[in-house]
A = this chain, B = another copy of it.
Amino acid sequence: MELKQIAYILTDFDEKFGIPRQSGRVPELIGRIVFLPEYAVKEAVRGIEDFTHLWLIFDFDKAHRDTFTPTVRPPRLGGNKKMGVFATRSPYRPNPIGLSSVKLIKVDYDTKYGLSLLVSGVDLLNNTPIYDIKPYLPSSDCHVDAKGGFADEFTDYALNVDFNDDLLKIIPKDKQCALIKCLQDDPRPSYQTDDRVYTMKYINYDVKFSVYGDTLKVIDVKIL
């Protein structure tokens, strides 16, 4: 089947480094889903406001590969344990399509974007192509009895973030909280535990940090 792009999403991440590992981990991260002209039809989203959450089926467009690799090394497992690709949400899969659930904030009609959806809890790169949007149906999608395997063993993990006020105020106020939560979530590949300097691109800022034990210290913030 040939997938047709129906929309793209605008987010604060032009690079993969620093994006939360799953949707919903940083509820403050806002994205805007902009429909392509052919699909920017009000009728196509009629009734969508009745749902609090949506599924996005999207393109892992930076993870296309020609060959099939049956295993991946999840970063949260230290990068040295191989898991079957179908037992992970890794982007490197036979069909590089992703699945994320986001919260619907509102439907915007007639703005400069045409028809768009404002959503929160995003974990997608800026400009990610979107192939489908479906309502989240609690009765069939929410399995309170589900067990999550290894991927859910790290959900409570968080770093302390040491973010000097003079550096923090360079970031717009309404974007600070989401950034801090992304840093708490530890953007590093887990197999790196030295004190090297990392640079995370966030909106139009370069955020430099190092990690010492359980504390992530922001060293510099530069406007790009």
Which residues in A have some Cβ–Cβ distance to B below 8 Å?
Answer: 1-4, 6, 22-25, 38-39, 41, 43-48, 50-53, 55, 57, 59, 68, 70-71, 82-89, 93-97, 99-101, 131-152, 155
B143 touches A48 (CB 8 A): no
This protein's copies in its complex = 2
Interface core residue of A68, A131, A151 (most chain B CB under 10 Å): A151
A135 touches B87 (CB 8 A): yes
B137 touches A143 (CB 8 A): no
Q: Which residue of B lies closest to A3 (CB)?
A: B1
A44 touches which one: B86, B89, B149 (CB < 8 A)? B86
What secondary structure prevails in chain A residues at the interface with B?
Answer: mixed
- Considering the complex of A and B, which 3 residue pairs feature the smallest CB-CB distances, nearest first? A50-B149, A46-B84, A22-B140
Q: A1-B3, A1-B95 are in contact. List 9 more A-B contacts (CB 8 A).
A: A3-B95, A22-B140, A57-B57, A57-B95, A86-B134, A138-B146, A139-B151, A139-B152, A141-B143
A140 touches which one: B25, B57, B95 (CB < 8 A)? B25
- The smallest beta-carbon distance between A189 and chain B, in angstroms, is 19
A84 touches B4 (CB 8 A): no
A82 touches B46 (CB 8 A): yes
- The smallest beta-carbon distance between A117 and chain B, in angstroms, is 9
A89 with B139, Cβ < 8 A, contacts A4-B95, A44-B71, A94-B39 known: no
